Chains A and B, each alone.
Chain A
Amino acid sequence: MKKSKDWGIKIAPWVLLAPNLIIFAVFIVWPAIMGFTYSFYKWDGLGEKVFIGFNNYVKAFGSAEFWGAFGRTAAYALISVPLIMAAALLLANLLVKDIKLKGFFRASFYWPKMISFIIVGLSFRFLFGDSFGVINYILEVLGFKSVAWLTDSFFAQLVVILATVWSMAGYYMVMFISGLQSIPESYYEASQVDGATSAQRFFLITLPLLKPTTFLVLILSIIDVFKAYPLIKALTGGGPASSTKMIVQYIYEEGFTKSNLGYASALSMILLVVLAIFTGIQFKINRGGEI
């Protein structure tokens, strides 16, 4: 009787996990294995697959377009991520305090995360459109010259970063609020007694004790930004020219516009490795809670 009870206890978690494991295996693991296999073939999705070994990888590492898209994505992450983190931390600091309508403000700042990235992209295009955008209309009414928001490479990149920060900051704000709430109030009370200023309290108590949360936000936002596609596609289409085309759009176009599915699979594998590195670091932090 006891033996069957032990067996039941051992098997119960797997029974409960089974539906998710099946879905994960069918929709994530199996396509990833297929993608890895395809990366060694030349294939247009319909005709015969031709085995070409590592040629797709060689082509990728020798492609100026690949490095261009990868470099742009890295630069986009380098600028966007600190801004996302700063905005999220600022909002969290303001909304962790006992202020009126705290719940309303928290929900409002989190709300962009609940909107589809495509809607965010289209909304920003409506705002920043060169010819019929709201902001240029207001500028013209006020007697200013309109700005080439989406047809000048610099401004287009700026608008993409702005839209990214707006859409993601609220989500990470919630994580920071959780981190801030876990800092014991007594530290702040003691520092106040010692005469510490607000800035000193922030830099000497809040930031060090928030380090695990900060690092988690850093890694997650880097992964998010590296996967950016729908927002940018809807906002600028990757233009002007290719100035806002990131790595995922490059992969999509190779795979589905040019039908180079083998090459696109190899590119996906390279991106997978990059994201796996960040995810590995995140797992390590989650387990140990230390950097």
Chain B
Amino acid sequence: MKLKTLTIAMVIMACLLSACGSTSSTDSAGTTASAGTTASEQSGSGSESAEKKKLDFMWFSDGVEGEVTQSIIDEYEAANPNIEINLIEVPYNDYENQLKIAISGGEPPALARVTYVGLFKDASITFDDYVDAESFKAQFSDSLDPFYIYDGKIKGVPIDTTANGLIYNKTAFEKASVEVPANPGDIWTIDEWIDAMKRVMESGDVRYGLVIDKTPHRFSTLLYGQGGRILSEDLQTTEINSEAGIRTVDIMKRLHDENICPASVWVGSENPNDMFRTGQVAMHLAGSWMMTNYRDNITDFEWGVTYLPVGVTRSSVPGGKYVIALDNTSVEQEAVDFIEYYISKEVNQKYCSESLFLSPRNDLADMEFSFGSESWQIFANELANSSPDAARDWGYEQTSALIKEPLLNGVAEVIQGKTSSKDMLDSLAEKVNAELAEINS
């Protein structure tokens, strides 16, 4: 009986091991493919497949850009039969962690789309070693330099550009007979902006005047408009607790005290996109990346884009996405070849026009869009009038990690009346400066 038990146990074990074995084999093949590190296809026996190079492209999507990129990849593969590119989509919330895990695990993808090149600059190739750096850089807007050039070396390539901006409920504004600025000469001051939103609220068509994404990046839109900045010129200390910073937090408090902004976004955790889409909010301080989302999801009312209000000066915040090629993949040259194709004028035009992005290329500055041409002109104008401090602050990869939590919590406490703008910012600056000193030590 006991021998029988042992026999059954051995059989079960053998089955499990064989299952593990076959899974492992599949995974192993998958991992090799997904890592994009293998120069030649391991499993192929023919000479044609042995020469085929596999590149993994780690990706996240805000809208339809993943589908557009896949179609570009399909065209590239058709023209280059020895190249196979595997687009791996990962949800953005976990994207940077997944990429870090792949890199630190020794299996980096060949290519990756990233928001902050600086976070991965030590793991990515230097493009200067593969291309003529000067002519390569000359393709792109100079204002983007801090986002992808580190210590004078190209560590990533811009593929699309975004601008923070003001999206509004056109139907509600029209019903309230309130006009939005139609050209840069009509731009609202902060007081005029608040007054316009109040009038729309009073018309009874919306419950709130404004939602602002709960991120330091969107907060900084108002900060730059007030003439402030997050970091000093040498990136060694923070200047967020300047008079401009205090004015900015005071504006945030005023917007909440006067019930223009719902507390549920900045004090709570309600999603401002969802709130705007209900039609119960007059304006959304967001960015150009929301265009596809609102185009596809808002059907109950008309919406549009208008100019951000002016404080001491005008400013939006430039941003965008970049593609990096990872080091130690043995397909670095193939990755660079693909990126050069991907960022070429015709391909980038297709990518940006179909995904609804501004192009980072200088020769596509006046690109036509099939949807929302006026809105894109406004976003482009916002970018052209942005503070250079914005690009420097956000080109530094540690900015978000340094200020995110204390700023979001601090502003929430100011809104709740638990502390003053000055005290909150002074305390935040002390904390951030200590962390900067530790980073730079």
Residues of B within 8 A of A138 (CB): none
Are A259 and B269 CB-contacts (below 8 A) given A8-B3, A148-B263?
Answer: no
Total A residues in contact with B, Cβ cutoff 8 Å: 34
**Interchain nearest-CB distance for A160 vs B (Å):** 12
Q: Which residues of B contact A125 (CB under 8 A)?
A: 269-270
Q: Could you tell me if B6 and A8 are in contact, using CB atoms closer than 8 angstroms? A: yes
CA distance A131 to B263 in the complex (A): 8
| Chain A residues within an 8 Å CB radius of B9 | 12, 15-16
Q: Is B199 an interface residue (CB 8 A)?
A: no
Once bound together, how far apart are the Cα atoms of A253 and B404, in whole Å? 10
How far apart are A184's CB and chain B's nearest CB, in angstroms?
36
**DSSP majority for the B interface?**
helix
Q: Encode A177-219 as 1/0 by CB contact (under 8 A) with B.
A: 0000000000000000000000000000000000000000000
* Contact of A9 with B by CB under 8 A: yes
For this complex, into which size category does the number of interface residues on chain B fall?
Answer: 35 or more
In the complex, B344 has a CB within 8 A of chain A: no
> Which chain B positions have C-beta within 8 A of A156?
268
Interface residues of B in 1-55 (CB under 8 A from A): 2-3, 5-6, 9-10, 12-13, 16, 20
A9, A150, A257: the one within 8 Å of B269 (CB) = A150
Q: Does B412 contact A (CB under 8 A)?
A: yes
- What per-residue 1/0 map shows which CB atoms of A234-255 lie under 8 Å from chain B? 0111011110000000000100
Measured CB to CB, the closest approach of chain A to B275, in angstroms, equals 7
**CB within 8 Å for A132 and B263 given contacts A5-B2, A12-B5, A15-B9:** no
Nearest residue, chain A, Cβ from B20: A19
A274 interface residue, CB < 8 Å from B?
Answer: no
B17 to chain A, nearest CB (A): 8
Q: How far is the CB of B410 from chain A (nearest CB, A)?
A: 8
Answer whether A45 and B3 are a contact pair too, CB < 8 Å, given A131-B270, A241-B409, A257-B401. no
Residues of B within 8 A of A236 (CB): 268-269
**With a CB–CB cut-off of 8 A, which chain B residues contact A132?**
270, 275, 278, 280
Cβ of B123 within 8 Å of any chain A Cβ, yes or no, is yes
Collect the chain A residues with CB atoms within 8 Å of residue B269's CB: 125, 150, 235-237, 239
B6 x A11 contact (CB < 8 A): yes
CB within 8 Å for A259 and B208 given contacts A239-B412, A240-B267, A240-B416:
no
A18 touches B104 (CB 8 A): no
* Interface: A151 (CB within 8 A): yes
CB-defined interface of A39-53 with B at 8 Å, one 1/0 digit per residue?
000000111000000
In the complex, the answer to whether B123 meets A241 with C-beta atoms within 8 Å is no
- Which residue on B lies nearest to A257, using beta carbons? B401
In the complex, 25 of the A-B residue pairs with CB atoms within 8 angstroms, ordered by the A residue number, are A8-B6, A12-B9, A16-B13, A45-B104, A46-B119, A46-B120, A130-B268, A131-B207, A131-B208, A131-B264, A132-B275, A132-B278, A132-B280, A151-B264, A151-B267, A153-B416, A235-B269, A236-B269, A239-B267, A241-B418, A253-B405, A257-B401, A257-B405, A258-B405, A259-B401
A67 at the binding interface (Cβ < 8 Å): no
Instruction: Please give 14 more A-B residue pairs, beta carbons under 8 A apart, in addition to A8-B6, A45-B104, A47-B122.
Output: A16-B12, A18-B13, A130-B262, A130-B264, A131-B262, A132-B280, A148-B263, A150-B269, A151-B263, A253-B405, A257-B401, A259-B100, A259-B119, A259-B401
